[in-house]
Amino acid sequence: MKPSDQPVISLNPLPCILNQIGSPPILSLPKTLKSFSMILPERHPLQRNTVFIYSVSVHIVNMLDLGSLGNTRVISEEYIKWLKGYCEAFFYGLTVKLLEPVPVTATKCSFRVNDNTQNLQIHAGHILKFLKKKKPEDAFCIVGITMIDLYPRNSWNFVFGQASLTDGVGIFSFARYGSDFYSSSYEGKAKAFQKKSSSDYSVFDDYYIPAVTSVLLLRSCKTLTHEIGHIFGLRHCQWLACLMQGSNHLEEADRRPLHLCPICLRKLQCAIGFNIIERYKALVRWIDDDSADTPRVTPKHSREDNVNLPKPVEAFKEWKEWIIKCLAVAQKSEPSYRSN
């Protein structure tokens, strides 16, 4: 077969990002599979192949979990289910279980107002300690998701997420993925904030939640799988365009793709043992299920228990085309893509 007849998959090099003094960063050689340290099975027996997800949130007076995603409970529950399904496809072969929402008060975490955005933030490290205590014995890892902004320490501005490989816990926020987070008119800005005590969490009452969009879902899926990837032992990728690239701001986060580079994909396969072809098929199914082509019915025009919420996957269209190309290549050499 002529080379021109083969499907083309772009494996772009990672764009060079200059450091603060205008010089290219010093990069070490890429870690190959041979140098990948598989320490996870030593920490967790292989039968512990479950990922648990907490919705780290706050509560309002009617006891709906305010830190959830979306402006109603139905939207929130659907969004969490979409993320669960995406994780099960991305980490193909693992079981993902949803746990009950947790109020900020239960975590006893520190919080503050960010000097730059004037938005509330909770301490990521304190949340990790809380999750470590709540981690089920049969869980490989437990992760928290929240719409409240995070900071890892007082000297840092913010962090999208944070994970501990050794403890098998992670926390990440989707707060900055809303379309108007950086706007001067953002409704979530803390108004007349005055911290009375370290245990007074009333400031989170009526916490603002942005609308659910396709871009928000895509960004959330990126962060979720990136941080869980760290728990599987994947470090930041420095060479090829890859989900495991690091990011310091939203522009960098948007620039990294949804897919793993070949080296990181092989590492993940080594950790989980999935069939790559079946994994690609599962990802396509997740995008195709509950297609967003059907008209959206919002809670405003129907009963909440009958709401039809098609998954907003418009932003995943280009990635779906990329996966289909990968499938075409993999299926032509199927034996070499098996996990064994």
Return d(Cα 248, Cα 244) in angstroms, integer: 13
Q: Is-catalytic flag, 42?
A: no
Beta-carbon neighbour count of residue 318 at 10 Å? 9
259 near 29, Cβ under 8 Å? no
Backbone angles phi, psi at 244, to 5 degrees: -85, 10
Four-point Cα dihedral 30, 33, 35, 38, nearest 10: 130
62 closest CA partner among 212, 201, 205? 205
Alpha carbon of residue 213 to chain centroid: 15
Return d(Cα 109, Cα 115) in angstroms, integer: 19
169 near 161, Cβ under 8 Å? no
Q: Of the listed 42, 77, 227, 314, which one is catalytic?
A: 227
80 closest CA partner among 100, 61, 55? 55
Return d(Cα 49, Cα 94) in angstroms, integer: 6
- Residues annotated as catalytic are 227
